[in-house]
Amino acid sequence: MIVVLTGGTGGAKLIEGLSHVIDAAQLTVVCNTADDFILHGLNISPDLDTIMYTLAGMSDPAKGWGIQDDTFTVLTQLERLGGETWFKLGDRDIATHITRTRLLGAGVKLSDVTDKLRNSLGIRTRILPMSDETIATRVETREGEISFQEYFVKQGWQAEVKNVFYAGVEKSHPAPGVLEAIDAAAGIIICPSNPVTSIGPILAVPGIRDALKRVSVSIVGVSPMIGESAISGPAHKLMAAQGIESSALGAAKGYADFVDQFVIDNEDEPLTKKLETLGIGVVKTSIRMKTLADKQALARQVLALVDK
């Protein structure tokens, strides 16, 4: 079993590649939930949903979120009834949130809800939320503290960020199966996801980083950065706000205590020596994943590294 730690967009691309290269049932995904939020009274888990839709073959590759060819009838009517529309919820997507909200309201744990949903969609890959408890990435801006989705989607990540923290993480616990999956893994992959708001929260759940440090199998990280910018999204801005160098080197430093090898883009070749001083192996390749072929190619390379 290969265990994959991921957020949404970037990680989903590699996971899509992996699911085409090895048996999807041989993957276990541990997914960030610190972006989860409530809108229209519905429990929305953006990263879990992106991974789930990707593995179900339902995702919209052009948008990077939501369900392909989804309609927006409910959202249009919600707007007429005074609801907020900055988060684009499609009709079929809303069915996910209605189901999740109903089950959570009935006392079912998020990990069980997620398992039920992925089974309903015929997904053979196990998808584990990092925790069943509420953990919320909070973004401190000059104008005040906001949720990650408000920063990312509502404000289009334009606000100047002073600090990022994960509310509730100190007292949280890994969801059932997370530590067990890491302990039993044949190899572990850290996806090219935002180090601050996707992988960061997972590592901050007490017990997960220690488990990663403890395992003897190979752990391979993939850089979410090329040059000084994230391949997509605001990772570089959030890294800078946290005093982290916004580059593959900055990302690698956060994982150096448990990662064996780190995959960077060919363009970042000049960082090789500095990365090696962290005591980790450095692998250069093309890490942009625009086509399914790109995703499969990178997935094959990462799997080969894990197998070594």
- Quick check: 78 binds its own copies (CB under 8 A)? yes
Contact map string, positions 168 to 207, toward its own copies, x by CB under 8 A = ----------------------------------------
The residue among 60 and 91 lying less far from its own copies, judged by its C-beta, is 91
Q: What character string, x for contact with its own copies (CB under 8 A) and - otherwise, covers 6-45?
A: ----------------------------------xxx---
Structure-token match 């005040």, residue found: 144
Number of residues binding to its own copies, judged by CB under 8 A? 30
Between 78 and 240, whose beta carbon lies closer to its own copies?
Answer: 78
CB 295 within 8 A of CB 14: yes
- Confirm or reject binding of residue 92 to its own copies (CB under 8 A): yes
Residue 95 interacts with its own copies (CB under 8 A)?
yes
Min CB(94)–its own copies separation in Å: 6
Selected from 120, 163, 266, 277, the binder of its own copies by CB under 8 A is 120
**Which range in 72-80, 150-158, 287-295, 297-305 contacts its own copies by CB under 8 A?**
72-80
- Compute the least distance from the CB of residue 39 to its own copies, in Å: 9
Q: Does 101 bind its own copies (CB under 8 A)?
A: yes
Burial class from Cβ neighbours inside 10 Å (0-12, 13-18, 19+) for residue 106 reads: exposed
* Residue placing its CB nearer to its own copies in the complex, 79 or 183: 79
Task: Tell me the per-residue interface mask from 121 to 160 with its own copies, x by CB under 8 A, - otherwise.
Answer: x---------------------------------------
- The answer to whether 71 contacts its own copies (rule: CB under 8 A) is yes
Does position 81 interact with its own copies (CB under 8 A)? The reply is yes
Residues at the site binding its own copies, with contacts judged by CB under 8 A: 40-42, 70-71, 73-78, 80-83, 91-92, 94-96, 98-99, 101-102, 105-106, 116-117, 120-121
